[in-house]
Structure 1
Amino acid sequence: MDINSYKSHRKVLAAVDCIIFGFDGNQLKALLIKRGFEPHKGRWSLMGGFIHDDEDADRAAVRVLNKLTGMDNIYMEQLHTFSQVDRDSAGRVISIAYFALINIADYSEQLQAEHEARWFELSQLPDLVFDHTAMVLKAQESLREKVARQPIGFELLPSKFTLPQLQSLYEAIYETSLDTRNFSKRILALGVLNKLDEKEKKNSRRGAFYYVFDSIKYKSLETNGVRFI
C-alpha cells in the first residue's frame, strides 16, 4: 500500500465511549449524561468523545472519564469496538467502548450537575442514543464474567465493607439471591479478606464486622485460578 492509497481512502472518525458502573448498596447502576449537542440533543447518552491526534484510545478514555468523574486511577478496561456502518447518524464513526467501575459515594454532586449526569439502575435504562444500550448490555455481560474470577468487584465498594454489603454487590451484578451462609463460607475460605475490629451498626443492633480486601494474598492465589463465586 503506497501513500496515494492513504490519501484517496475515505476518512473514518474514531471515538471512545465509556460505560461507568457504580453500586449504591442495593443496585448496580450506570452513569449517563444528557447529550448537549446534535444529533439527538437532550437525549440520554454515555460519556464519550473523539480520539485526539496526539493520543491513543486508552488515553482518550482516561481523559473522558476524568472529565466526567474528576477521578484518576479508575479501574477501566477496553470492552469492544463498535463499527456498524450506520451506528452514528451524523457520520461514519467507529467507537471503542470501555467500561469503568467507581464507588458512587466518591462521585461529586457538582460534577453530576455540571454534566447533567444521572445514575440509572440497569433494569430501568432510558432510551439511549445510537448503539449505547448495546454497549451497556455488553459491559454488564463482561462484568459478570470477570467478577467471578477477578477481584474487580471491590472497586465498586468502599475500602472497608461488610460481608452483607459484599453479598449485596454480587446479588446486584447477577440479579439473583445468594444463600448467605454459603456465600460467607466460600468468600472467607479464599483467605483474601482481612477482618477488622470495627463493626457497621447502622443496619442491625448486633452489627457486622468490616473487612478489607488483601491484594497481596490474592496475588499469591491468582495463578491457581481463584473463583469468588
Structure 2
Amino acid sequence: MNADPWEPPAVLLAVDLVILTLRDARLHVLLVERGIEPYSGALALPGGFLADAHEDIEEAARRELSEEAGLVDVHLEMLGVYGRPGRDPRGRVVSVAYLAIAPSLPEPIAGTDAASACWMRVDDVLSTQVDLAFDHRHIVGDGVERARAKLEQTALATAFCAETFTISDLQQVYEAVWGVRLDPRNFYRKVQNARGFIVAAGPMRRTENGRPARLFKAGPARTLYPPMVRSAQASAEDAGEAAAPVTAQGGQQT
C-alpha cells in the first residue's frame, strides 16, 4: 500500500522591523497603526508579507519600511526569526525581524495599509501602557536588548552625540538606551579605559553650572575593548527624571 504523497505545509513568510532612535533623551521605537484586519486600529511594528516568491527578504523589509513609514537608507541587520504557531490568526506565519538603530531619523509618514505611523517611547511599549498586535512586544524587547548589547560592545553611542561632546553627553546616551542611571565617576573611568573609543577635541566647554568640561570626538575604534559593561544604579523611571535632554545628531501589512 502506497503512502500518501508528502505535501509541504502552508507557511507564509513576512518581515517585521524594529527601528530605534533617541528623541528627547528617551529611546523610541517606530510603530504603525494597522489599517486592516486582523488587529485593525492596533499599534504594530512596520512590516508585511513578501510581495512574491522572487523577492529577497531584506529587500522586502526595505520596501515595507518605505511604504509604511516613508523611511529609506536605514542600515538594517537581522534580529531573529519568529514562527511560534498561533502568532497570527490568519494561519502559520513566520516572520524575519530586522533591527535598525540610528540618530536623526525623521517623523514617519504612513502609507499603504498603515493608517498612521509614530515614534513611541520604548519603556511605554514594553510595559502594559501600550498594546501591540501579534507578538510584537516580544520582538521589540529582543530588539532593545540587542541595542543595549551593541552599546556595550561597539562605539555606536558616539553616533547619537554632536561632532564634539562631553563625557556627560555620552553618558546621557547610555542612560537613555540602557534605562539606568550611571555613576559619573565609574562611567568616566570605563570610557577612558576603552582604547580608541573617544579622543580629546578642541577647547573646554562651560556647562550649565558654569564648570568647564573637556570636549571629545569619536575615536577610531569600532569595537570596544574592554567593553562598556552595564551596571544599573536606578530604575529606568529614575533615570528619566534625572537625565538632561540629549540632542541627536548626526505590499500587505502583517
Q: TM bucket by the smaller chain?
A: 0.7 to 0.9
Distance 2:36 2:70 in 1: 20
User: Structure 1 residues 82 and 192, CA, compared in 2 at 3 Å: closer, same or farther?
Assistant: same
User: Structure 1 residues 142 and 205, CA, compared in 2 at 3 Å: closer, same or farther?
Assistant: same
Correspondence for 2:71: 70
Quick one: which of 183, 187, 210 aligns to 2:187? 183
Cα distance, 1:198 vs structure 2: 6.6
CA deviation map 1:74-112 (0-9, x unaligned): 332211111011101122210011111121x331x3x34
Correspondence for 2:15: 16
Cα distance, 1:33 vs structure 2: 0.9
Correspondence for 1:33: 32
TM-score for both structures, normalised by structure 1: 0.80
Distance 2:20 2:186 in 1: 27
Give SS of 2:28's match. strand
Give SS of 1:218's match. coil
TM-score for both structures, normalised by structure 2: 0.73
Q: Which has the higher contact order (CA 8 A, sep 6+)?
A: 2
Correspondence for 1:54: 54
Structure-to-structure mapping, 1:1-229, within 5 angstroms: 5=6, 8-52=7-51, 53-67=53-67, 68-72=69-73, 74-103=74-103, 105-107=104-106, 109=107, 111-112=108-109, 116-125=116-125, 126-190=130-194, 191-197=196-202, 203=208, 205-206=210-211, 208=213, 210-214=215-219, 217-218=220-221, 222=223, 225-229=225-229
Cα distance, 1:69 vs structure 2: 4.6
User: Structure 1 residues 61 and 118, CA, compared in 2 at 3 Å: closer, same or farther?
Assistant: same
Cα distance, 1:27 vs structure 2: 1.1
User: Structure 1 residues 159 and 89, CA, compared in 2 at 3 Å: closer, same or farther?
Assistant: farther
Over the residues paired in the alignment, what is the CA RMSD in angstroms?
2.7
Kept in 2: contact 1:25–1:168 (CA 8 A)? no
Kept in 2: contact 1:19–1:46 (CA 8 A)? yes
Kept in 2: contact 1:76–1:100 (CA 8 A)? yes
* Identical pairs, percent: 30
Distance 1:106 1:203 in 2: 27
Give 5+ residue unaligned stretches, structure 1. none
Kept in 2: contact 1:32–1:118 (CA 8 A)? yes
User: Which range moves more in the overlay, 44-53 or 197-206?
Assistant: 197-206
Distance 1:102 1:201 in 2: 28
Kept in 1: contact 2:101–2:147 (CA 8 A)? no
Cα distance, 1:61 vs structure 2: 2.1
Distance 1:204 1:106 in 2: 31
Give SS of 2:79's match. strand
The structure with the greater share of residues assigned to helix is: 1
Give 5+ residue unaligned stretches, structure 2. 230-254
2:218 maps to a residue whose letter is F
Give SS of 1:119's match. strand
2:40 maps to a residue whose letter is K
